[in-house]
């Protein structure tokens, strides 16, 4: 069974800001990241903390794990594939916002903010 949590998906999708290094050039921002940049600019530290702490409920995570396993095995029905693709898109959306929230929080703490 897959044990990838929603929060781990952002690493898979490449939105973990902590993985940036100076040795490798940063890829250009995805279109989703660019579309969500203005939303990220509206975040307050309080909202950012809530976004960073966001986790899937256990039953949702169990369903995601089930769909991921079936996808890996090539066993998804058409309905399950649609459900899984929707979930992955939502996870990508959340992951981009979480990356922006982490960036805001790291900048806020660096500047001695709240």
Cα 85 from Cα 76, distance rounded (Å) = 11
Measured between alpha carbons, how far is residue 68 from residues 15, 58, 84, 106, 113 in Å?
19, 15, 8, 32, 40
Cα 32 from Cα 14, distance rounded (Å) = 12
pLDDT of residue 38: 86
Tens of pLDDT along 54-104? Answer: 999 999 999 999 999 999 999 999 999 999 999 999 999 899 899 999 999
Residue with tokens 């307050």: 44
Q: Looking at the domain assignment, is residue 1 inside a domain?
A: no
pLDDT of residue 29: 74
Q: Looking at the domain assignment, is residue 20 inside a domain?
A: no
Largest distance between two CA atoms of the chain: 51
Q: Looking at the domain assignment, is residue 89 inside a domain?
A: yes
Helix/strand/coil for 42: coil
Q: Looking at the domain assignment, is residue 55 inside a domain?
A: yes
pLDDT of residue 19: 41
Domain that holds residue 68: 6-13+30-110
Backbone angles phi, psi at 36, to 5 degrees: -90, -5
Tens of pLDDT along 19-57? Answer: 444 445 556 778 888 888 888 888 999 999 999 999 999
pLDDT of residue 3: 40
Q: Looking at the domain assignment, is residue 21 inside a domain?
A: no
Q: The whole model's pTM is what?
A: 0.67
CA 49 to chain CA centroid, Å, is 14
């Amino acid at each position: 069974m897959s044990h990838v949590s929603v929060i781990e998906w952002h690493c898979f999708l490449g939105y973990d800001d902590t993985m940036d290094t100076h040795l490798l050039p940063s890829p250009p921002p995805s279109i989703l990241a660019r579309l969500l940049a203005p939303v990220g600019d509206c975040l307050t530290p309080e909202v950012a903390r809530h976004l960073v702490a966001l986790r899937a409920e256990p039953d949702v995570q169990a369903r995601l794990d089930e769909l991921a396993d079936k996808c890996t095995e090539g066993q998804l029905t058409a309905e399950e594939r649609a459900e899984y693709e929707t979930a992955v898109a939502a996870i990508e959306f959340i992951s981009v916002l979480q990356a922006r929230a982490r960036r805001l929080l790291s900048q806020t703490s660096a500047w001695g903010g709240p």
